[in-house]
Amino acid sequence: MAEGYEVLVCGAGPAGLAAAQAAASQGVRVGLVDAQARPGGQVWRQDLRFGSVRAARRAIAAATGAVQWLGATQIVAAERGELLAERAGGAVRLRYERLVLATGARELILPFPGWTLPGVTGAGGLQALVKQGWPIAGRRVVVAGTGPLLLAVAAGLRKHGARLLTILEQAPAMRVRRFACSLAASPGTALQAMRLRFGSLGIPYRCGEFVVAAQGDARLQSVSIRTPRGLRQLECDQLAVGYGLVPNVELAELLGCRLDRSGPHAAVATDARLRTSISGVYAAGEVRGVGGAAAASIEGRIAGLAACGQEAAAARLAGLQQRARRFAARVARSFALDPRLRALASPETIVCRCEDVPLGALAGFDDGRAAKLATRCGMGACQGRLCGDILAALGRYPQPAAAAPLFPVRLSTLSEPMADSLTPTSTRGN
């Protein structure tokens, strides 16, 4: 079947929710689509025990009340003016006049020996799982990686009854302290307060330390930790490890939007009104480069207004947006990755988890495509997202180009007729 919208927003996190609400306030027909069953994105993912934070509840209520909400709907292909999506009932074609890309970001998890063991997850990854009922009460958890996210993750896990053993921040203590002190406003106070609270609970927040290996028989049983004083070993049941975020640019790339490839990971390039290089397509939030939820919300409003021709109203938000982006840049500098993290994987360590390709198998290939054809690296179900991000971060190859379908799909989805008309076809089963 097919649906048509004046403004279609892809992604229902802070950016997408704000864009949808801003566009709907202009009286146009708005669709809001997300692969997740519920709106909120990752940062505002609903917790089945504790609900959502107030900002999330407000944004979700304001947006979903005024737009058509299309949850559990995965975009798999794109043409000019139309997206093909898959959902439980079958395929759907979504036609649009203007499109706002608010597809967010995913976690970067750098490989180390043992990282494929069950029990090793992303940091935000474990948070997402626990919010949806993953059993964590009484489990011994190590939180590791980098950035303020680690503290938020640790706080959430504790609330669910996890036995938090330690928080390992790879950035050196001096840089973290300088960052915390530089924050005059509330985020810094919150960070400091949280550090103090963990300290008073006997949960150490250790800077300049990182996990170098995980061990276990069929599942995680312990981790090896590099400290400034040498290696130490810690028994645990879960490791939540995250080294920052990578923008989800695949849909933008498929639409032909110009990408900024100046960093290791691509981001969608836009002008100040958040217009991409493709007419009628806007981008907001993490997909433009990781900037945090505050920047995402503001950019969502800008894009939603700009997509409705409200240029002046959008321009008035530029100051707020730039301030939020400057803060994000400071976070990025303060938590820049220790180069030793890029050398944790041994030749035997798997980098492509879908096809079990070890890092050593890629030796001698100076081109990602040649490596893929020879080793199957990047040919599995995740379509090269994980290993592509990793190999880009390790400085091996640039991220591979996106191609349709963006996710594995059923054959019946691909045979969904072209939307020459809006006549609904039968809703297909499997």
Partner 1 sequence: MNRGDEVRLEVDGVAISVPDGANVAAAVARATSAFRRGVGGDPRGPLCGIGVCFECRVRIDARAHQRACMVLARPGMQVQTRG
Which residue ranges make up the site for partner 1 (CB under 8 A)?
35-37, 42, 46, 48-49, 72, 106-107, 109, 116-122, 124-129, 132-135, 218-219, 350, 353-356, 380-382, 385-386, 408, 430
**Pairing relationship of beta strands 210-215 and 222-227 according to DSSP bridges:** antiparallel
Could you give the CA distance from residue 110 to residue 100 in angstroms, rounded to a whole number?
30
Strand order in the sheet with 163-169: 120-121, 238-242, 140-145, 163-169, 205-207
Q: How far is the CB of 183 from partner 1 (least distance, A)?
A: 28
Q: Which is nearer to partner 1, 118 or 424 (CB)?
A: 118
Q: Which is nearer to partner 1, 7 or 354 (CB)?
A: 354
**Pairing relationship of beta strands 30-33 and 2-10 according to DSSP bridges:** parallel
Could you give the CA distance from residue 381 to residue 150 in angstroms, rounded to a whole number?
28
Q: How far is the CB of 226 from partner 1 (least distance, A)?
A: 22
Q: How far is the CB of 19 from partner 1 (least distance, A)?
A: 20
Q: Which is nearer to partner 1, 172 or 407 (CB)?
A: 407
Could you give the CA distance from residue 310 to residue 305 in angstroms, rounded to a whole number?
5
Q: Which is nearer to partner 1, 42 or 166 (CB)?
A: 42
Q: How far is CA 379 from CA 75, 120, 220, 398, 403, in A?
A: 20, 23, 27, 16, 12
Q: How far is the CB of 125 from partner 1 (least distance, A)?
A: 4
Structure tokens given for 44: 């505002």
Q: Which is nearer to partner 1, 51 or 319 (CB)?
A: 51
Q: Which is nearer to partner 1, 64 or 334 (CB)?
A: 64
Could you give the CA distance from residue 321 to residue 276 in angstroms, rounded to a whole number?
17
255: three-class secondary structure by DSSP: helix
Q: How far is the CB of 420 from partner 1 (least distance, A)?
A: 30
Q: Which is nearer to partner 1, 89 or 199 (CB)?
A: 89
Is there a cis peptide before residue 405, judged by omega within 30 degrees of 0? yes
Q: How far is the CB of 115 from partner 1 (least distance, A)?
A: 8
Q: How far is the CB of 240 from partner 1 (least distance, A)?
A: 10
Could you give the CA distance from residue 90 to residue 106 in angstroms, rounded to a whole number?
26
Contact 87, 81 (CB under 8 A): no
Structure tokens given for 388: 């592509």
Could you give the CA distance from residue 95 to residue 33 in angstroms, rounded to a whole number?
12
Structure tokens given for 254: 């498929």
Contact 108, 391 (CB under 8 A): no
Q: Which is nearer to partner 1, 221 or 277 (CB)?
A: 221
Q: How far is the CB of 234 from partner 1 (least distance, A)?
A: 19
Q: How far is the CB of 98 from partner 1 (least distance, A)?
A: 26
Q: How far is the CB of 107 from partner 1 (least distance, A)?
A: 6
Q: How far is the CB of 325 from partner 1 (least distance, A)?
A: 24
Q: Which is nearer to partner 1, 216 or 304 (CB)?
A: 216
- The separation between CA 228 and the C-alpha centre of its own chain, rounded to angstroms, equals 30
For the stretch 366-373, contacts whose Cβ atoms lie closer than 8 Å and that sit 24 or more positions apart, written own/partner, are 367/397, 368/396, 368/397, 368/398, 368/400, 369/400, 371/397, 372/400
Q: Which is nearer to partner 1, 121 or 170 (CB)?
A: 121
User: Which value, to the nearest 10 degrees, does the dihedral of the CA atoms of residues 46, 49, 55, 58 take?
Assistant: 80
Q: Which is nearer to partner 1, 287 or 298 (CB)?
A: 287
b/e string for 23-40 if b means 16 or more Cβ within 10 A? bbbbebbbbbbbbbebbb
